[in-house]
Amino acid sequence: MEGRRFKQGINTGISIVIFLGILVIINLISNRHYKRFDLTEAKIYTLSDQSKKILKSLKENLFLYGFFKEESEMKPKVTRLFEEYKTSSKYVKYKFIDPDKNPLMAKQYDVRSYDTIVVEYKGKREKVYIPEEKYITKAILKLIKSGKKKVYFTKGHGEKSIEEYGIGGISSLKERLEDEQYQVKEVFLMREGIPSDCDILAICGPEIDFIESEIKEIKKYIEKGGRVLALIDPGDFPRLSNLFSQYGIKIGNDIVVDLASRRFLGDAMSPMIMDYPYHQITKNFNLACLFSWARSVEAKRKHSENINVNPIAQTSPASWAEKDIFSVRRGYVKYDPGTDKRGPISLGVACEMEIGKKEEKKKARIVVFGDSDFITNKFLNFSGNANLILNTFGWLGEEDILISIRKKERENQPLTLTEKQGKIIFFIPVVVIPSVLMIGGLSICIRRRLKY
């Protein structure tokens, strides 16, 4: 009997040792291969693709200094955020400093208020006063980019303005571009021409066509390896259409109708884009984009061999390019197999070409969309609209680290229930469970009375 107990004791001891050994091994593995999982729908506790891409471009150590009081309520949240940055790059280091306990460090980094973050890279520093990913990544981007690309938006033809804060303006786009370290200005081509420091020329929703001298100016700019973004709404623009036609881009004289959009949005004139042919601009792009009153833009069947034109955004198969624009404006649309083109319809193309002789070859890039409304203040924040246009600027400027999916803003997640689901949720805790407990209690009492 005692021998059996002794053996059982030994077996139990061995089991405990093995169990503890497994725990130690798991702990060691987890320390070396740290992995976190974000189960929220919007991935609010995970760094955006853009932040991760920027961190991968680091070549030296980047330091995050958090100047927070020990008892600060914000410190746990910022710690989690710093951990996300650290796990995304081996070059990221972070440290918290209490300004009250270490005033010399606060003075050294010129910190004059609590809850300040200092980002340091290659001896340069940036301060962040709002402890959120958007602002920290913005500071990192500012430190690692060598200079600011200059974007000039044309004016004088009724284009959408970067200074207009109403729903039809593009001031929000200007702010987003400035966040990504672009310098954004307007230019009046008829008077000033294209500035010599222009990196990207943007033509956004003109209401009248450009004059011949401006077309020659733009062509000259392209032939020198320039970068052009054009957003051309439905209308009559023969000179602009002819200019882009020379580079293998066909701007259709039509309006795109999409019946699939009518099911979701109630408006067939607002195509929702979910089809993105493979291109660097839309690589791994899985967000819906919303256009409004758009025209077709596609690659010409025949163009020069040194020109590469690719579609980047297409409508659903339930769409078509309506040629009878007059009828559309009167509110009457009907697919005509004889004249209209059946979808999917291309609404945007990207063109790349090599210009010049072998010794002095330059690369020119052009992107043309058949709509300008999708980048206005009214539509910019719809799903993927901002990512699509900002990726386009990144491709035009050859800034690969800016071609990605940016952080989705945190938003409330309301619980929406049907009437039936609401009744079930009400009856189970309020009626069913109390009734079961009451019946169970009564049955126990009755049994006991009958027993005794």
- 251-254: long-range contacts, CB 8 A cutoff, minimum separation 24: 251/295, 251/296, 251/297, 251/368, 251/370, 252/295, 252/296, 252/297, 252/298, 252/321, 252/370, 253/295, 253/323, 253/325, 254/295, 254/296, 254/321, 254/322, 254/323, 254/325, 254/340, 254/341
- Of the given ranges (1-15, 195-209, 215-229, 323-337), which has the lowest mean pLDDT? 1-15
State the chain's maximal CA–CA distance in angstroms: 110
Compute the average pLDDT of residues 140-156. Answer: 93
Residue ranges covered by each domain of the chain: 49-143, 148-402
What is the rounded CA–CA span in Å between residue 76 and residue 162? 39
Please give the model's pTM, rounded to 2 decimal places: 0.78
- Of the given ranges (34-38, 68-72, 231-235, 391-395), which has the lowest mean pLDDT? 34-38
Tokens (6 digits) for 170: 């593009």
The pLDDT confidence band at residue 407, using thresholds 50, 70 and 90, is low
Residue 403 has pLDDT above 90, yes or no: no
Q: Where do the H-state alpha helices sit in 71-111?
A: 75-88, 103-108
In this structure, how many other beta carbons lie within 10 angstroms of the beta carbon of residue 305?
A: 6
Tokens (6 digits) for 53: 């891409």
The pLDDT confidence band at residue 5, using thresholds 50, 70 and 90, is low
Residue 219 has pLDDT above 90, yes or no: yes
Task: Look at residues 169, 200, 168 and name the one whose alpha carbon lies nearest to residue 184.
Answer: 200
Task: Look at residues 336, 288, 297, 349 and name the one whose alpha carbon lies nearest to residue 316.
Answer: 288
Measured CA angle at 143 (ends 108, 105), to 5 deg: 15
Q: What is the pLDDT of residue 30?
A: 60
Please tell me the CATH code under which domain 49-143 is placed: 3.40.30.10
Residue 397 has pLDDT above 70, yes or no: yes
Per the CB < 8 A criterion, the answer to whether 23 and 54 are in contact is no
- Of the given ranges (108-112, 234-238, 294-298, 430-434), which has the lowest mean pLDDT? 430-434
Task: Look at residues 91, 164, 179 and name the one whose alpha carbon lies nearest to residue 130.
Answer: 179
Q: What is the pLDDT of residue 360?
A: 73
Compute the average pLDDT of residues 211-234. Answer: 96
Q: Are strands 255-258 and 249-251 parallel, antiparallel or unpaired?
A: unpaired
For 297, 360, 384, the CA distances from 312, given in Å and listed in that order, are 10, 29, 14
Residue 177 has pLDDT above 60, yes or no: yes
Task: Look at residues 423, 388, 380, 424 and name the one whose alpha carbon lies nearest to residue 405.
Answer: 388
What is the rounded CA–CA span in Å between residue 182 and residue 152? 10
Compute the average pLDDT of residues 55-70. Answer: 95
Helical (H) or strand (E) element with 322: strand 319-322
Residue 451 has pLDDT above 70, yes or no: no
What is the rounded CA–CA span in Å between residue 113 and residue 99? 9
Is 148-402 assigned to CATH 3.40.50.880? yes
The pLDDT confidence band at residue 2, using thresholds 50, 70 and 90, is low
Select, from the ranges 129-133, 152-156, 406-410, the one with the highest average predicted confidence (pLDDT).
Answer: 152-156
What does the CA dihedral 22, 26, 29, 30 come to, rounded to 10 degrees? Answer: -170
Residue 83 has pLDDT above 60, yes or no: yes
Q: What DSSP designation does 42 have?
A: T
- Of the given ranges (167-181, 267-281, 298-312, 403-417), which has the lowest mean pLDDT? 403-417
User: ω before 317 within 30° of 0 (cis)?
Assistant: no
Per the CB < 8 A criterion, the answer to whether 395 and 281 are in contact is yes
What is the rounded CA–CA span in Å between residue 247 and residue 304? 8
Share of the chain above pLDDT 70, in %: 88
What is the rounded CA–CA span in Å between residue 161 and residue 376? 9
Q: Specify the amino acid at residue 200.
A: I
Per the CB < 8 A criterion, the answer to whether 298 and 349 are in contact is yes
Q: Specify the amino acid at residue 414.
A: P
The pLDDT confidence band at residue 439, using thresholds 50, 70 and 90, is confident
